[in-house]
Amino acid sequence: MAANMYRVGDYVYFENSSSNPLLIRRIEELNKTANGNVEAKVVCFYRRRDISSTLIALADKHARELEEEMENPEMRDLPEKQKHQLRHRELFLSRQLESLPATHIRGKCCVTLLNETEALKSYLDREDAFFYSLVYDPQQKTLLADKGEIRVGNKYQADITDLLKEGEDDGRDLEKMEEKIWDSNSSLTEKQIDQFLVVARSVGTFARALDCSSSVRQPSLHMSAAAASRDITLFHAMDTLHATGYDMTRAIAALVPQGGPVLCRDEMEEWSASEANLFEEALEKYGKDFTDIQQDFLPWKSLTSIIEYYYMWKTTDRYVQQKRLKAAEAESKLKQVYIPNYNKPNPNQLSNNVKPALVNGAAGTAGTAGTVGTAGTAVPGPPGSVPTPGLGRACESCYTSSSYQWYSWGPPNMQCRLCASCWTYWKKYGGLKMPTRLDGERPGPNRNNMSPHGLPLRHSGSPKFAVKTRQAFYLQTTSLTRMARRICQDIIRPRYMARHPYLPVNTAAIKAECALRLPDRPKKPLPLKPVERKPLESVVRYLEAHPRPSKPNPPTRGGSISTGSLTPIKSSPILNNGSPTILGKRTYEQHNGLDGAKSKVLAPQWDIMAKRVSEAVRPSSSLQDEVHELD
């Protein structure tokens, strides 16, 4: 019961797709809609597979810096498999909020801010445990360190000096290290100090009456007197009293100098009503993130001014009223919600009684001796063949061939699948258990990153993109199959089928036709003409005695060529079916400006003329001698 009860502040899994990994969110609010459904207002966490490769490179750089500062050397000695799985436990916090149906919750998890003193390996030992250290902004596409970092470690410790021995003098000048601003042992009594503060408030009220801007903001006498009673006026009065040596006459004279009474105003008076409304709106959106408040709402205010105004605003009645309204809203909202376990079957489950199709040799693998269907059921081969145990397509993650349930995974045309254990890992952690060749960490089947069009897809949080080779296999055919290829060539049409590999082949009809034609064929194979070949030693001696003649250099364009004994070169007509230009037919690369081989039609004919010149110079008698010797 407690496991299915979800409260505000819980980290939970959300499912938005049956084939994609689960989303990780933190519940901020639980609201009941008008139709009675429950919606959860959540904070988004992102995985490595959800951000761009550029930001992943920044995250890797941050991880390397963190690894260098690690006090535990075991992190550097982790095997590649555990490092691969540790990347699946890393999340990126965001300030983005979204509302999701509470019925899509699929369980709880644990997300913590990474601490430099804890071991990263501890996350691998716990189920549903994640960590984060960086903040991701989906709009700006930035990755920054979290401002709430816990500063724990040797570099954050204070350097404490040695304790002074008894009678040892401190060499520091204490007058430069501190400043005295009030003396409690002065000659004035408490009553005299309070009387002076009343005089200071009266002077401040009179100064506001003389100031034009203050008379507009505080049009009544009560508002001016209340503003003059604020802390800024009292602090100025006490500083003046201390600066005059606690002489009451000099202090009162300092309050009213030659130019008029002194007016002291704090941030509460400096801000207008519209600026105060903007601040309250920003505080509702960003909380106490004063940097974002300044950037988005009050760029003309300094950060010091905003922080000072915030702490003064908390002392006003406006803050008390908003706090009461928020408490009333919190009482009306849901505190927790019960979500039962989700027991519906996943659409990616593979059924165990699927009949395989009899096309393209699906009726037999390992040379028609037996195959395995899409669900792992063995299909017998043709009569007379030796049955071989078919294990079926293995799990793409752990390579196991046995599981109580299989799930389809990856592009549909690749027909990849995962076992039950690896499917649960994929849904929770967004990757495969074993490192793949995409990361350069293991050889093996690498079909899970290919799209239906042969393009690479992002894989399990890896920042690299590369086309992966398909899995190699060996097709061992039986003698009956090889015979059927020769006897039924008119039906199979091997050259046509080689150019159309996706057309189905009716293997059952070919086997039946082969069984009918086989008795009519001659029992003995046709005799082959024996070929007598010379030993290798004689071939080597001949090649040493007759080295290859050097190829003459082609004539340059500026040189003169005698063409009296050569027949003129007839240029073949240019057939252009695609482009009406006079350049003739061009390749795709030439049309699109890509680097490729030049068209044969556009190639210069100097190489052809040079070849004819060399053939004419070469004597024909030597050619005949070479032919006789080779025979």
> How confident is residue 170, by pLDDT bands cut at 50, 70 and 90?
confident
**Of 616 and 432, more confident:** 432
Contacts of 564 (CB under 8 A, 6+ apart): none
- Confidence check: pLDDT of 10 > 90: yes
Residue 92, SS3?
A: strand
- Confidence check: pLDDT of 376 > 60: no
pLDDT tens profile 475-518 = 778 888 888 888 888 888 888 888 888 888 888 888 888 888 88
Name the phi and psi angles at 97, rounded to 5: -115, 145
Q: Using CA atoms, how far apart are residues 365 and 37, in angstroms rounded to an integer?
A: 53
Residue 130: Cβ within 10 Å count: 21
Name the phi and psi angles at 185, rounded to 5: -100, 35
- Confidence check: pLDDT of 40 > 70: yes
pLDDT of residue 436: 60
pLDDT of residue 569: 43
Could you tell me the sign of the dihedral formed by the alpha carbons of 591, 597, 603, 604, in that order?
Answer: positive
461 within 8 A of 89, measured Cβ to Cβ: no
pLDDT of residue 268: 79
Largest separation between any pair of C-alpha atoms in the chain: 138
Residue 370, SS3?
A: strand
Q: Using CA atoms, how far apart are residues 191 and 213, in angstroms rounded to an integer?
A: 34
Measured at the CA of 189, the angle between CA 184 and CA 194, to 5 degrees, comes to: 95
> How confident is residue 229, by pLDDT bands cut at 50, 70 and 90?
confident
Residue 617, SS3?
A: helix
Tokens of 163: 């304790």
Residue 554: Cβ within 10 Å count: 15
Task: Please provide the average confidence, as pLDDT, over all residues in the chain.
Answer: 74
pLDDT of residue 426: 93
Tokens of 31: 């609201």
pLDDT of residue 517: 84
pLDDT tens profile 553-562 = 766 554 444 4
Measured at the CA of 190, the angle between CA 186 and CA 191, to 5 degrees, comes to: 130
425 within 8 A of 398, measured Cβ to Cβ: no
User: Smallest Cα–Cα separation from 15: which of 346, 489, 398, 360?
Assistant: 346
Q: Using CA atoms, how far apart are residues 108 and 9, in angstroms rounded to an integer?
A: 11
Helix (H) or strand (E) holding 289: none
pLDDT tens profile 397-416 = 888 888 889 999 888 877 88
Instruction: Classify residue 218 by burial, with Cβ atoms within 10 Å: 0-12, 13-18, 19+.
Output: buried
- Confidence check: pLDDT of 530 > 80: no
pLDDT of residue 596: 43
92 within 8 A of 46, measured Cβ to Cβ: yes
- Confidence check: pLDDT of 341 > 90: no
pLDDT of residue 394: 84
pLDDT of residue 428: 93
53 within 8 A of 81, measured Cβ to Cβ: no
> How confident is residue 525, by pLDDT bands cut at 50, 70 and 90?
low
pLDDT tens profile 106-158 = 999 999 988 767 777 888 889 999 999 899 988 888 888 766 555 666 777 78
Helix axes 190-210, 248-255, angle to 10 degrees: 10
> How confident is residue 44, by pLDDT bands cut at 50, 70 and 90?
very high
pLDDT of residue 106: 92
pLDDT of residue 329: 77
Tokens of 276: 């105060």
- Confidence check: pLDDT of 537 > 50: yes
Residue 597, SS3?
A: coil
pLDDT of residue 611: 53
pLDDT tens profile 432-462 = 988 764 443 333 344 444 444 444 444 444 4
- Confidence check: pLDDT of 463 > 60: no
81 within 8 A of 166, measured Cβ to Cβ: no
- Confidence check: pLDDT of 614 > 60: no
User: Smallest Cα–Cα separation from 407: which of 326, 457, 470, 346?
Assistant: 346
pLDDT of residue 455: 42
Tokens of 626: 């070479």
Tokens of 339: 């979500």
- Confidence check: pLDDT of 470 > 70: no
- Confidence check: pLDDT of 90 > 50: yes
Q: Using CA atoms, how far apart are residues 419 and 399, in angstroms rounded to an integer?
A: 9
| Secondary structure of 320-361 in HEC code, one letter for each residue | HHHHHHHHHHHHHCCCEEECCCCCCCCCCECCCCCCCCCECC
pLDDT of residue 623: 43
Tokens of 158: 């204070």
Q: Give whichever of 240-249, 265-274, 436-445, 540-549 has the largest mean pLDDT.
A: 240-249
- 5 - beta bridge partners? 338
For the chain, give the number of residues.
631
C-alpha torsion angle, residues 490, 491, 494, 498 (rounded to 10):
140
pLDDT of residue 69: 66
Q: Using CA atoms, how far apart are residues 140 and 145, in angstroms rounded to an integer?
A: 15
Percent of the chain with pLDDT over 90: 16
Instruction: Classify residue 89 by burial, with Cβ atoms within 10 Å: 0-12, 13-18, 19+.
Output: buried
> How confident is residue 601, by pLDDT bands cut at 50, 70 and 90?
very low
pLDDT of residue 355: 42
pLDDT of residue 14: 94
Lowest mean pLDDT among 30-34, 52-56, 529-533: 529-533
**Of 369 and 269, more confident:** 269
Tell me the residue type at 477: T
